Amino acid sequence: MLELIPPVEIMNPLLDFTGLPRFGEIRPEHVASAIEQLLAECRSLISRLLQDKELPTWDNFVVPMEDAHERLSRAWGPVGHLNAVMNSSELREAYNATLPVITQYYAELGQNLALYEKFKALRNGPEFGTLNAARKKIIENELRDFRLGGAELADDSKARYLEIQERQSELSSRFSDNLLDATNDFTLLVENRHELSGLPEDVLEAAHEAAVEKSKAGWLFTLKAPSYMPVMQFADNRNLREKMYRAYATRASEFGKPEWDNSALMDEIVELRGEEARLLGFASYGELSLAAKMAETPGQVVEFVRELARRSRPFAEKDLAELRDFSGIELGLNELHSWDFAYASEKLREQRYAFSEQEVKEYFPEDAVLSGLFKLVGTLYGLKIEEAKAPVWHESVRFFDIREADGKLVGQFYLDLYARNSKRGGAWMDDVITRRRLESGIQTPVAYMNCNFSAPVGGKPALFTHDEVITLFHEFGHGLHHLLTEVEDLGVSGINGVEWDAVELPSQFMENYCWEWEVLSGMTRHVSTSKPLPRALFDKMLAAKNFQSGLHSLRQIEFALFDMLMHSAFKPGGGKTILQLLDEVRAEVAVLIPPEYNRFPHSFSHIFAGGYGAGYYSYKWAEVLSADAYSLFEEHGVLNPAVGAKFRSEILAVGGSRDAMQSFVAFRGREPAIDALLRHNGLIEHA
């Protein structure tokens, strides 16, 4: 007779590190128990390592810590990811309850003087000279991070530093939650079809489906990008545009529900960052932020941004004058308001270049775009991308393998393309698993790639605007940076250890291919006729590529200057508010001033909740790097596999194992120059 074996208790899925996250099984109640167990294991390990009297070596000291901390990040990573893409009140509660515990652990770790001394002993010991460049870089980065983490502070200062870290993480999480809730809260139902003239059919179809889902008759609009942006760009109804604009521009501010107002949070975040910097001996948070970046001082960044502003402003003034003239003569808009800008710009573009963005969108169904993107990666880097199976968090999410030409697995990624209420706005890449060498062999890297595009409606495939295609290529560039690394040590593998102001290089580099006929012609198919994008329409798109580039450039410069000045030359409560600082920046660099009620900072997640505090200039700095890197392809052929192989080996493969400037010089043969960026953006006067 067979003996019945009692069933083994089902393991907490967050504690299973044998493969990909088990998304279908993760529940809010799993979070606290998994993290508590892993933190206890980490603390026990640190205690044992500190008691060890042997001289620290890579194998007896660094590797055990890497193993333990990787388990912790692989358990916490899916929790943070789900909180961003499948947000619910239960998950949010579990995430926010556990976040302070995680924050406290890492802050304590960074302040551990005994651990710092161990790393110093390793750095000064006999083994250091025999280590490879990646491992040396990891140790040097650790020593820097201990200094920046407060390891050398007095005990009372350490206690305050810990409090600051915990409070900052809590405030940033609340900032994101408030913005998501305020965005989701607004809906606008339009019952009269005549009020929606100008809106494309697919947008109307999506709005009608949204109304039906809410058991309402008519068309329902939201502040999610796929709903909001087309209204601003195409709706003839000026009152509708103004209503939507006002709702969007005042999200998470004093104009909405008090519990979602980010005003006080922003002040406190900036104040705490300043206090943290002063504790560590820096004059400002801007200085502290740059300690681990390519740029050296806040002054250098401000000078760089202001120089870009100086070069861009004449073009922006010309753009705005043209738009005002056109709006007055052709549209009867004698005064151009913020809610008219996208609409008037689209009409001017249509008149000048004889095409509309909606017309272009018809040529970019999702399957054709993905096929073209994957073909490009194959051409440049000799890789194959194939759909595969994995547990996912939503039925629309897809999963892919990246393989070498010989079939060897290089990496894997999830693709989550569509907007939904449970998902935060924007587009981003994040790591799931990072490449490293284990006793069993090489660990395959895995990435998340997330966007907020319109889902398919009415049985048709999802259609992307050309801007959305650019966004997809951008995030894929980040993904390739993570997935194509050849580094075998966790701390500098993929995007780990890469200076923040260089991390946008591979992503912005990929955007260039969205303007190449050789690439674009093979990734289009008209949704009705199945015909590819006509060359004549592409030529019009190319002619319009730098349409209003002066205005667009100044907008990014405004954000970058505001961010750096707020973190280096501003004191909350010092007689000037954050909004007044932004007004001053706009008076200096902007040519288009929004209405007084605009509360842009209240939704500026990048700097208040996304890691870009005193680092938003990175986008412009990395544009310089990416444009200059791409110019080498322009010189030798934009699809040249030899140049692609060099970009892969010198930029993507090395991760953070050496300084970003060294990697750039190794690829380009010299330091970066600003000229290629200005040329790409049409910001150079032609003789």
Torsion of CA 211, 342, 593, 678, to 10 degrees: 130
Q: What is the token pair recorded at 214?
A: 């809410």
Instruction: Determine the 3-state secondary structure of 443 from DSSP.
Output: strand
Distance CA 475, CA 497 (A): 19
Of the candidates 524, 367, 394, the one whose C-alpha atom is nearest the C-alpha of residue 448 is 394
Distance CA 339, CA 239 (A): 9
Using alpha carbons, list the distances in angstroms from residue 423 to 20, 464, 467.
Answer: 21, 19, 20
Residue in this structure with the two tokens 């390891």, named with its chain if needed: 151
Q: What is the token pair recorded at 311?
A: 């070069």
Instruction: Determine the 3-state secondary structure of 543 from DSSP.
Output: helix
Amino acid at 585: V
Distance CA 19, CA 24 (A): 14
Q: What secondary structure does DSSP assign to 79-106, as a single string?
A: HHHHHHHS--HHHHHHHHHHHHHHHHHH
Let me know if 84 is exposed, middle or buried by CB neighbors in 10 A (0-12, 13-18, 19+). Answer: buried
Q: DSSP letter at 463?
A: B
Torsion of CA 244, 250, 255, 260, to 10 degrees: 110
Based on the residue annotation, tell me whether 475 is a catalytic residue of this protein: yes
Between helix 618-636 and helix 660-668 the angle, nearest 10°, is 20
Amino acid at 92: R
Q: What is the token pair recorded at 583?
A: 């007004």
Q: Taking the mean position of all CA atoms in its chain, how far away is CA 275?
A: 27
Q: DSSP letter at 56?
A: P
Q: Which helix (H) or strand (E) holds 585?
A: helix 578-589
Of the candidates 511, 454, 452, 453, the one whose C-alpha atom is nearest the C-alpha of residue 480 is 511
- Catalytic one of 276, 287, 366, 475: 475
Q: What secondary structure does DSSP assign to 621-665, as a single string?
A: HHHHHHHHHHHHHHHH-TT-HHHHHHHIIIIITTTTSS-HHHHHH
Q: What secondary structure does DSSP assign to 357-401, as a single string?
A: HHHHHTT-BHHHHHHHHHHHHHHHH-EEEEEE----SSTT-EEEE
Pairing of strands 446-453, 409-418: parallel
Edge-to-edge strand list for the sheet holding 428-433: 383-388, 398-404, 409-418, 446-453, 428-433
* Helix, strand counts (H, E) of the chain: 26, 9
Supply the residues annotated as catalytic: 475
